[in-house]
Homo-oligomer: A and B are copies of this chain.
Amino acid sequence: MSSVAPVEHHDRDAFLKLLKNYLACQSVSTDPAYREEMAKTREFLSKLIKDIGFTNVRELDGGVGGHNALYGEWLEKPGKPTLLIYGHYDVQPPDPLDQWLSEPFDMQERDGKLYARGISDDKGPTLIALEALRCHMAANNELPFNVKILLEGEEETGSPSLPNILSQNKELLSADAILSADGARWRADLTAINVGSRGNGGFEISIKTADLDLHSGRYGGAVPNALHEMARIVASLHDEDNRVTIPGFYDDVIMPDAQTEADLHSINFDGQGWTANIGSIEFGEKGYTTLQRLWDRPTLEVNGLWGGYQGAGSKTVIPNQAHAKITMRLVPGQDPEKIREAAKEYIKRLCPEGVELTITGDRGWTKAYAVPPAHPLLLAAEKALEDTLGDKPLRVRVGATLPLSDLVRNTLGIDTVMFSFSTADEQFHAPNEFLRVSAIDEGVAAWIKLLELVGEQSPQAYKNL
C-alpha cells in the first residue's frame, strides 16, 4: 500500500491531455459515416482501462448491426459489493458546424471552460470516473470493491443494441447496482443528485402528396402541398395550452408525491432567468411550473422538419414530400408501447385522405426511471458529495433519458445511481458543448470518496431493495 492518498495521484495536466485525445475520436453513433471512428474510440478506451488494471476487456455485440459496447472488470474483492460503472462513448452529430467557435473534435479551453463535442455528454464525466479508479489503483494497487465497466456506444441513438447486450450477458454484467457517469448535474451553483429521469421514444413521419415536385404556377391552388399538410399535422400535436393532443397521452402519468412536490417548490429557481440565459422565454404546458414541465411532465418535440427548396433564392415549387423527426419524453406511469401506438394512430388520423403517410425509424421507447429513495448506493453518493463539496445534495430529477436505468432494472434486476460531473447548461446536443474545468478536480475527488464509501458497504445492503 502506498502512503499517498488516491487523490494525490490525480494529475490534471495528464488528464487534460488524455481527454483531448479521447475527444478527437469522432464517435458520432447516429451517422454510418462515422463507423470507423467509433471503432477507433473503442480501441482508445480498451487500452485505457487495461492500463488501469481492468481485465477480460472485450466488446459486447448486440447482434443487431449496431455499435459494440466495451466491457472490462476487476473482481478481486470477494465479500465486497460489485458495481457496474456505466458511461457512453458515443456523441451527438456536430452540426450545425458553422455555429461552433472552435473545431468540435479539437478540445479548446476558453475562460475556464473546455469546448468539444461530447465533452460534457459524456466523455468528460466518463474519464473522471476512470481517473478516480486509476488513482485508487495507483495508491493501493487495488480497488475498494469489485468493479465492472460498461461503456455503451449507442446512448445518443436510443440504445438499440443494449437490450440484447444486457440479456445475453446477464452473468457477465451481474452486479449489486449500476453507478452511472452519465446524467449531468442540474446547476453549477447547487449541490444536487439526480434520482430520476424521463423516458424517451420517437419516430420519423413522411408524407407524400404527389409523385413529384410541382410548379406552383401550373398546379398551385389545385393540388395539396406536402408542407402545408405536414404543418397542419405538427400544429395539431399541441393545443393552445401547449398540451400534447395525442388521446390518452397524460392518462397514466404519476406525479411525484406531495413531499417531493413541496421540495420542488422550495427550490430557489428563477425560470425566467433560466430561459433568458438561452435567449428564450418561459413556455409550456399550462398549469405547471417550469421545473414540473422539465421533470414531471411528458413532452413531444419535433426535432427536425423539412421539405421543398432550401437553397439560395427561391423556387416556385409545390413540394410533394415533407418529413418530420419526432421524439417524446415520458414520465413515471406512462407505458412507452401504449404511447407509441397512440401517437402513431393519432397521426394517421390527422393525415387527410389522399395524402400518403409513412412512419419509420422507431427509436428508444424507454420508460422513465426513479431510483429507490433508500438505496445504499444513493446514500453513499449523497455522502460522497457532502464530504467533498460541503453541502448535502438536493434530490432532483432530470428531464433527459438514461435508457440504461429502465433496461437494467428489467434485465439485471438492479438499480442505477447517476454520479456525473457535467452540468445541464453545458450545451450538449448543440454547438459549442463545453465542460467546466472545475468539474474535473471536484469530480475526481468525489468519485474517489464514493469508491471508498462503497468499499465500506456490505453486499447484503444491496439485497431486497
Chain A residues with CB under 8 Å of chain B are: 29-32, 92-93, 95-96, 99, 121, 156-158, 184, 197-198, 200, 202, 204, 208-225, 227-228, 230-238, 271, 275, 278-285, 290, 293-294, 297-299, 301-320, 322-325, 327, 329, 353-355, 361, 363, 398-401, 424, 427-432
What chain B residues lie within 8 Å of A204 (beta carbons)? 314
Residue from the list B234, B275, B313 in contact with A31, Cβ < 8 A: B313
When the two chains form their complex, are residues A319 and B297 in contact, meaning their CB atoms are under 8 A apart? no
Expressed in whole angstroms, the Cα–Cα distance for A157 and B204 within the complex equals: 33
When the two chains form their complex, are residues A428 and B216 in contact, meaning their CB atoms are under 8 A apart? no
Residue from the list B231, B275, B314, B430 in contact with A234, Cβ < 8 A: B231
What chain B residues lie within 8 Å of A92 (beta carbons)? 315, 317
Expressed in whole angstroms, the Cα–Cα distance for A424 and B323 within the complex equals: 28
Q: Would A322 and B305 be within 8 Å (CB), given that A221-B399, A363-B314 are in contact?
A: yes
Residue from the list B303, B309, B431 in contact with A212, Cβ < 8 A: B431
What chain B residues lie within 8 Å of A275 (beta carbons)? 210, 222-223
Expressed in whole angstroms, the Cα–Cα distance for A204 and B315 within the complex equals: 11
Tell me, rounded to whole Å, the shortest Cβ–Cβ distance linking A180 to chain B. 14
Tell me, rounded to whole Å, the shortest Cβ–Cβ distance linking A306 to chain B. 4
Given contacts A96-B213, A223-B275, A281-B353, 4 further A-B pairs with CB under 8 A are A200-B316, A223-B280, A228-B235, A314-B363
Expressed in whole angstroms, the Cα–Cα distance for A415 and B267 within the complex equals: 74
**Copies per complex of this chain:** 2
Q: Would A280 and B430 be within 8 Å (CB), given that A218-B400, A302-B231, A400-B217 are in contact?
A: no
What chain B residues lie within 8 Å of A235 (beta carbons)? 228, 231-232, 234-236
Q: Would A304 and B319 be within 8 Å (CB), given that A231-B235, A311-B93, A329-B216 are in contact?
A: yes
Show 21 residue pairs from A and B whose CB-CB distance is below 8 angstroms, ordered by the A residue. Answer: A93-B311, A157-B313, A208-B279, A211-B279, A213-B430, A216-B303, A216-B327, A216-B329, A217-B329, A217-B398, A219-B294, A221-B298, A223-B278, A227-B234, A231-B231, A283-B354, A303-B308, A304-B319, A306-B310, A309-B325, A316-B327
What chain B residues lie within 8 Å of A353 (beta carbons)? 281
Expressed in whole angstroms, the Cα–Cα distance for A284 and B354 within the complex equals: 13
When the two chains form their complex, are residues A308 and B304 in contact, meaning their CB atoms are under 8 A apart? yes
When the two chains form their complex, are residues B212 and A99 in contact, meaning their CB atoms are under 8 A apart? yes
When the two chains form their complex, are residues A315 and B303 in contact, meaning their CB atoms are under 8 A apart? yes
Expressed in whole angstroms, the Cα–Cα distance for A262 and B150 within the complex equals: 77
Residue from the list B99, B200, B281, B363 in contact with A223, Cβ < 8 A: B281
When the two chains form their complex, are residues A214 and B278 in contact, meaning their CB atoms are under 8 A apart? yes
Expressed in whole angstroms, the Cα–Cα distance for A204 and B314 within the complex equals: 8
Tell me, rounded to whole Å, the shortest Cβ–Cβ distance linking A188 to chain B. 14
Tell me, rounded to whole Å, the shortest Cβ–Cβ distance linking A406 to chain B. 14
When the two chains form their complex, are residues B306 and A314 in contact, meaning their CB atoms are under 8 A apart? no
Which residue of A222, A284, A301, A304 has the most chain B CB atoms within 10 A of its CB atom? Answer: A222
Residue from the list B184, B222, B298, B304 in contact with A284, Cβ < 8 A: B222
Q: Would A401 and B217 be within 8 Å (CB), given that A223-B281, A327-B314 are in contact?
A: yes
When the two chains form their complex, are residues B209 and A280 in contact, meaning their CB atoms are under 8 A apart? yes
What chain B residues lie within 8 Å of A96 (beta carbons)? 213
Tell me, rounded to whole Å, the shortest Cβ–Cβ distance linking A350 to chain B. 11
